[in-house]
A and B are shown apart, each in its own frame.
Chain A
Amino acid sequence: MSEAGKVWALHLGLLGLLFALQFVLPAYHHGNLARVMVLASFAVGYNLMFGYTGLLSLGHAMFFAAGMYGMGLAMRHLGWTPGPALIAGVLSGVVLALVVGALALRTVGVGFMIVTLMFAQAVYLVALYFGEWTRGDEGFVIQQAERVMMGLDLSQPGPRYFVAFVLFSACMLLSLRVMQSGFGKVLIAIRENEERARMLGYNVFRHKLGAVALSGGIAAAAGAFYGLLFGYVGATFATTQYSILPLLWVLLGGAGTILGPFVGTLFAFYLIDISSGFTTAHMLVVGVVLVALALFARQGIVGELRARLWRWLP
């Protein structure tokens, strides 16, 4: 099989497996996997910026939260139906990403990390400040009756899994297509050697801004769907912890690989799930894994696979 053939076979194969699993998984894992797929979509967005473009953001929770609030506030206060509300969520994320990107991309390295961290913190505080509308940390519930889209009752496990699957498939295939395109190759070139890319005539700033907008848009889509599928919108999702988690998932699965975000999210989800069975301090696992990754496995699971076995993995 050609390399392109192998790539498509592998990725479509994973999607096929995920689709089939909904019919066989026991209820508990069925629910978990639906959640993992939505969170993995968040990680896919994060990976476009961090893994492929080399921009380490410490504030991606703000895009996730922008999507969630864009969707949730439109439904709660404007009485929108889920379809338009989801679009409002994604657009909120893209607009926020363009504004933050236009400012933050004037800095590099540590400066960029801190600027994104600060903007995310400001977004979180804004959500608290307008607590009358957002209900702050407490959050608000989206009623079951409102969570119906195209005849699907999203509060039911079956439709919920299916919609999560569609979202994840769309995000993963989008990221695969982008990274196979000329635009994606330029992003990788910028990650590898920004000055060289500039001296080949590429507008580095615009490409980076494009990556930030795309990444923020996907993260916002994940946030909007998360709020809709699980019926809850709250400021917790804007905290720093939700900026660190996608970094952890992507590092764990393999930064700059298409499958890495999913593998990392799945692995971390069950790691935390299992450890919270016997301790309240389950974030300890996150800490230990982060340190171990930085020390021993910089490429993550899929990255190590690519380095050792399958050079053709995108």
Chain B
Amino acid sequence: MSLLSTQGLTKAFGGLTAVSDVDFELPQGEIRALIGPNGAGKTTFVGLLCGRMAPSAGTVRFDGQDISRLAAHERIRLGIAYTFQITSVFARLSAHENVALAVRRRGGDAVREVPEALQRVGLRDRAGDLAGDLSYGHQRLLEIAMGLAQKPRLLILDEPTQGLADSEIDAFCALVRGLAPETTVLLIEHNMSVVMRVAQKITVLNFGAVLAEGAPEVVQADPAVQAAYLGGVEA
């Protein structure tokens, strides 16, 4: 059974339809990449999934429950975690406190679990630093640690590798692969090498609609996908 599914999910801003009638299924335990040219509606789509905005039409189901009417924080409490595309840490709190906020929300033990989560992204020795003083790459990793610390059933990562060094990207890929099958992952990513390395399946969005879906090799070879990317901003 699917952990997450959408039926006819649509979001229009005035005359512009950013997400159009998307049916989407994400089985439990899968690592799925969501790709598409700039402006394809990826961030809007995940925004609808976790309730940052209300859909114009359609439903979102999580674990068999219709969550379309739930507020964002209620969805997060059901076991969805979302890491922001634009780094969004608590700048004037320490790295430790940033993660502790994620741990305490689900009643976890911050003293034990925060160092663990920081360890997994390689930031354990920066626990005492103010988040705002960390380098951009480290802030991205902290963001991921906050996602992990929520122990989510579904982890939505919005362009997590942007701004990371190559070595950090390698560590990140290993980390994500290690999350399955307990954690289902939905990964929005521009870096195709990351996508090919970690994703079990790829969904391609274009003009707010699903253009293609399938195994990485199949999608990569799909002429329609190639055309969309060549016609888009980047290759």
Binding site for B on A (CB under 8 A): 182, 185-186, 188-189, 192-193, 195-204
Contact of A199 among B76, B91, B92 (CB under 8 A): B76
Any chain A CB within 8 A of the CB of B90?
yes
Interfacial chain B residues near A197, Cβ < 8 Å: 101
Contact of A193 among B52, B77, B89 (CB under 8 A): B89
A304 to chain B, nearest CB (A): 15
Interfacial chain B residues near A185, Cβ < 8 Å: 97, 100-101, 104
Q: Which of B54-79 contact A (CB under 8 A)?
A: 71-73, 76-77
Contact at B106–A201, with CB atoms within 8 Å?
Answer: yes
| B contacts with A, residue count (CB < 8 A) | 24
Interfacial chain A residues near B82, Cβ < 8 Å: 199
A195 to chain B, nearest CB (A): 7
| Alpha-carbon distance between A201 and B74 when the two chains are bound, in angstroms | 6
| Alpha-carbon distance between A120 and B91 when the two chains are bound, in angstroms | 34
Shortest beta-carbon contacts, A-B, top 5: A201-B76, A192-B90, A201-B77, A196-B88, A201-B105
**Can you report 6 residue pairs joining A to B where beta carbons are below 8 Å apart?**
A182-B104, A192-B92, A193-B90, A199-B84, A200-B102, A201-B73
| Alpha-carbon distance between A192 and B102 when the two chains are bound, in angstroms | 15
Interfacial chain A residues near B102, Cβ < 8 Å: 200
Any chain A CB within 8 A of the CB of B164?
no
Interfacial chain A residues near B106, Cβ < 8 Å: 201
Contact at B72–A192, with CB atoms within 8 Å?
Answer: no
Main secondary structure of the interface of A (DSSP, over half): helix
* Chain A residue at minimum C-beta to C-beta distance from B97: A185
| Alpha-carbon distance between A203 and B70 when the two chains are bound, in angstroms | 12
A254 to chain B, nearest CB (A): 14
A196 to chain B, nearest CB (A): 5
Contact at B101–A198, with CB atoms within 8 Å?
Answer: no
Interfacial chain A residues near B72, Cβ < 8 Å: 198-199
Any chain A CB within 8 A of the CB of B146?
yes
Contact at B76–A186, with CB atoms within 8 Å?
Answer: no
Interfacial chain B residues near A199, Cβ < 8 Å: 50, 52, 72-73, 76, 82, 84
A275 to chain B, nearest CB (A): 35
Contact at A202–B73, with CB atoms within 8 Å?
Answer: yes
| Alpha-carbon distance between A201 and B97 when the two chains are bound, in angstroms | 16
Any chain A CB within 8 A of the CB of B20?
no
Contact at A196–B89, with CB atoms within 8 Å?
Answer: yes
Interface 0/1 of B141-153, CB less than 8 Å to A = 0000010001000
